[in-house]
Structure 1
Amino acid sequence: MKKIYIVLISMVLFSCGNEKKILLPEIENAKITEVLDVSPAYLFYDETKADSVELNRKNLISTTNWLVNVDKRLKLSQAIPKIQIMQDKKRNAELHKNENAKNYYTCNDTSIKNLGFLEFTEVYYKIQKLKTKPIPKLELRVEDYLKNPSITSKMPVLKIYIQEDGNTYLNGELLDIENALSKITTIREAINAKGFILILWFDKNLSFQDYIHVKSQLTAADSNYITIDQNEFIY
């Protein structure tokens, strides 16, 4: 019988005498701290494999909530293709389908010294093979909105490019994620906009830990004025 042991910063599995360990990504003040009716999947960091990742999803049941446990050391280029496989399995299920079943990333919530969860059910990952990385340009000019108040009735769209080091390009300016959120608030107040739609672009070499940090910060932001586009781009 398989036994799963959960500790503060890692998950250790003992199966058929083999020990495998996952270092869970860390977050603070997770909005979700309990999920019921679950089945797990695991993405291990494995240096012995060509792509350094091993996926174990044999215990997934399509009608349950899925807890996806990803080692924080993995890069997005390693983890996301495996996650897409799992997403497609549930979305394409014809029999025994549960429309209410959701998908969550399992994290270590350091603020409570226990597990926290980050939902990603409606996220659609898009892998973009670009010859060169996109160069962020100034996409939203505050003065243009002030000159034409009629367009403030529409929700502006901003793209955020998250680099390999975790810093972001927002509207042509290099910021960390916390300052980027502050900048969005400043722009919104300046143009009297109802809110923003954010389109997220992530560097494929970003660690899963940094990815989860950005996502958790955006989730904690005021949802009354920030709408995250369901499509997330990996470049």
Structure 2
Amino acid sequence: MKYLLLIPFFVLISCGNKEAILLPKSNVTIVSNVEDHSPIYIFFRNNAKDTLAAVNRKNEIISTNWIFNIDKRLPLRLVLPEVMKLQEKKRNEVAHKNELAQNYYSYADSLHKNLAFIPFTDVVYKMEKPSTFESFIYFQKNGFVKINNTIYSNTQLSKLNDLFIEHECEIVFSFDKNVSFGEYIQDKILIDKLVVQKKGIWINHKKEFIY
């Protein structure tokens, strides 16, 4: 198998067949380089009227860092169940387990013309609605986000400290299951920039809900 990186997409050549992955795009780089890695590909495919997420993990090596190259057109409801299966496999490995190995999503930094990565090793995904006892930020399609039952543009997340009242709370992130993977990565990059200044308010980066 060979692959070509033509920002912003991969072209894989296997057994004479070509398949492309359209990568998510951003204008910032979270992580610029990952050493000792194995690629995992999740393709966008159409079967009659259905959209399918097709996984290719032929080059997977359990003890390495895993880079997930996922087509940006796929909805989270199709992508994340496949990601969760692979996460579980890696976490449960005993014989060749490497405690230092990480998982990353890849995306194209269109400003700097390079491949970039965002880590998600410790994230536990739940395909359900969060408890009402948690303060949650719900990312919707087309750049909107619901915070405490009010709709905002996701660009207003920088005002997060003004949107929560003065009491202790844990902020949990949730996502519409029909959000595209491309939108999801853009939202994750926005989350990475968040700084909470109010005492007693903290962000849980290790748990995400999809519903």
TM-score, structure 1 normalization: 0.80
> Is the aligned partner of 1:213 residue 2:183?
no
CA distance, structure 2, for counterparts of residue 32 and residue 196 of structure 1: 29
Q: Percent identity?
A: 36
Q: 1:4-43 alignment to 2 at 5 Å?
A: 4-43=3-42
Secondary structure of 2:11's counterpart equals strand
Please name the residue that 1:47 is paired with: 46
> Is the aligned partner of 1:166 residue 2:143?
yes
Cα deviation 1:44-89 (Å, max 9, x = unaligned): 0011275411001121111100000000000001101110111011
Please name the residue that 2:171 is paired with: 198
Please name the residue that 2:206 is paired with: 230
Q: 1:132-171 alignment to 2 at 5 Å?
A: 158-171=135-148
> Is the aligned partner of 1:3 residue 2:25?
no
CA distance, structure 2, for counterparts of residue 215 and residue 223 of structure 1: 16
Contact 2:161/2:197 (<8 A) preserved: no
Aligned length: 206
Q: Which runs of 5+ in 2 are unaligned?
A: none
Q: As a proportion of its length, which structure holds more strand?
A: 2
What letter corresponds to residue 99 of structure 1 in structure 2? E
Please name the residue that 1:176 is paired with: 153
CA, structure 1 residues 46+227, in 2 after alignment: closer, same or farther (shift >3 Å)?
same
What letter corresponds to residue 87 of structure 1 in structure 2? Q
Secondary structure of 2:182's counterpart equals helix
Shift, 1:196, TM fit: 6.3
What root-mean-square deviation, in Å, do the aligned CA atoms of Structure 1 and Structure 2 show?
2.3
Please name the residue that 1:67 is paired with: 67
Question: Residue 186 of structure 1: which of 162, 169, 191 is its match?
Answer: 162
CA distance, structure 1, for counterparts of residue 77 and residue 185 of structure 2: 14
Cα deviation 1:148-188 (Å, max 9, x = unaligned): xxxxxxxxx63011123331111222112220331x12246
What letter corresponds to residue 107 of structure 2 in structure 1? C
Contact 1:62/1:97 (<8 A) preserved: yes
Contact 2:172/2:208 (<8 A) preserved: yes
Shift, 1:223, TM fit: 6.8
Contact 1:164/1:204 (<8 A) preserved: no
CA distance, structure 1, for counterparts of residue 91 and residue 197 of structure 2: 28
CA distance, structure 1, for counterparts of residue 16 and residue 197 of structure 2: 50
Please name the residue that 1:105 is paired with: 105
